[in-house]
Structure 1
Amino acid sequence: MSTLMPQAWAQVTAGLHADGWSVTSDDEAPTFTREAHGELRYQLQVSLTERRAGLSMLPSVGVEHQTEARLFSRFLGLAEEAEAGVCMVGRTLPDLLPTREDPPPPYGRWLGRDRATLDEAVAQVRDDIRRHAMPFLASFRTMQDVIRSASGETSRQQNDEAHLAIAWALEGQTDEALTALDRFAGQARTQPPFVAEQSWAFVRRFINHFDVSQRSTLARPSLIR
């Protein structure tokens, strides 16, 4: 382990705790949470990486809906603890900075070359989270805010459709939920068998949990394996 790693871990966790974040992991990518509105919870992860030039820190943030995250993990057959860190929307902190830099973060802005410069880098990380990450997170106050952002992504993956299906179902928007589930199932048909099995298990558990009527599933043939 780098001699800077213990110092970085201690400074990052202490600093973010002082800023109102609660630590939820103790590995080399410290993860933090912060309660938001209702069932929404903000998440923050700081990836610590040893490099030739020193130790870099790369923060990313996301928004989790606690019931949605729990159902997402359950429908995929994951362990209960897997729900921690399951976010519907997220960004890396470099994406939220107002201007591009050379060298790009984390190489310059969040890089500690020694003990002295690590202090400065950690302070910069905390300041950037306050100034740029928190306004992004604060824009999510309801599940509808999260859905609006997630559904607006142009390159959604299968898991994104899974999140949206659950979120819309929780909001009582059945048609939108089944449309997302339809897209999720469509991708399952082209997956290798061991992956497809998990996807179809998701579809079955979703239908059973939300008590989707047989009439609704028959109207969407892709939901029937």
Structure 2
Amino acid sequence: MADEDDQPVFVRQGTLEIEQQVALQIAVRSYGVALAPVLGVRHKEVDRLSAELHNLPFDDGVGVCLIGKDLHYLMAQHGEQDVEPYAGWLVENDMDAATVADEIARAIDECGDRFFQPLGELDSIIENLARTKCDQFQLAHLAIATHVSGRLDDAVGYLEEFAARAALEPPFVATQSWGFVRSFVDRFNVDEGGLAFRIPD
């Protein structure tokens, strides 16, 4: 029986810094095992800096992706018939397992390249992420990624957007957010006098 603690991740090297990942999310139910593959793109230097600035451990083997998409969502997006986004696959017995594995492998073959190919460079990853950003963590990634790519004005702009949201957060959460801002400013020698906000003491 599959174990929810065992969430395998398969990694393929796209370029020297960019990895293509397929993570298999597993949920054990009374009626079977639900499988939800997620495709993701990771930039190793951005991930390393993100861990450093958030004061988190860094995993050089897998790490955190900048962009991730549910495989069923990608199938629906690309016109697969009778596919519900985020539905996943269900293995109800041992006989189902081989069939489901073949279906997932086929879907990855068909959708994987269409997902990964446009995200082969950091600038294209940044552009994609900028269109879909929706939370603090993504804004932090954008600030780091644009700095790594040499777009320093953009990096400061994303940091200021991050700070504007931090100012509205509850105190406990805001402390963590401002900690990232302080680490970013110190790490990259950002001129605090030129920022549109003040970092709380």
TM-score by length of 1: 0.79
Q: Which residue, 59, 79, 82 being the options, matches 1:101?
A: 82
In the alignment, does 2:20 pair up with 1:42? yes
SS in 2 for 1:81: coil
1:139 and 2:118 aligned: yes
Q: Deviations over 1:35-73 (max 9, x none)?
A: 111201112111122234322211001111101001111
Alignment of 1:1-225 (within 5 A): 3=1, 5=2, 27-81=5-59, 84-97=62-75, 98-99=79-80, 101=82, 106=87, 110-153=89-132, 155-213=133-191, 217-225=192-200
Matched with 1:16 is none
Structure 2, unpaired ranges of 5+: none
> Judging changes above 3 Å, is the alpha-carbon distance between structure 1 residues 103 and 196 closer, same or farther for their aligned structure 2 residues?
closer
- The answer to whether the Cα contact below 8 Å between 2:24 and 2:37 also exists between their aligned partners in 1 is yes
The aligned length equals 197
The answer to which of 50-59 and 97-106 deviates more is 97-106
Using the alignment, how far apart are the partners of 2:22 and 2:123 within structure 1? 21
**CA 1:79–1:52 in 2, change beyond 3 Å: closer, same or farther?**
same
Q: Give 1:195 deviation, angstroms.
A: 1.7
**Cα RMSD for the two superposed structures:** 2.2
TM-score, length basis structure 2: 0.88
Is the 8 Å Cα contact of residues 72 and 84 (structure 2) preserved in structure 1? no
> Cα distance 1:74–1:187, how it changes in 2: closer, same or farther (>3 A)?
same
Deviation at 1:134, TM superposition (A): 3.0
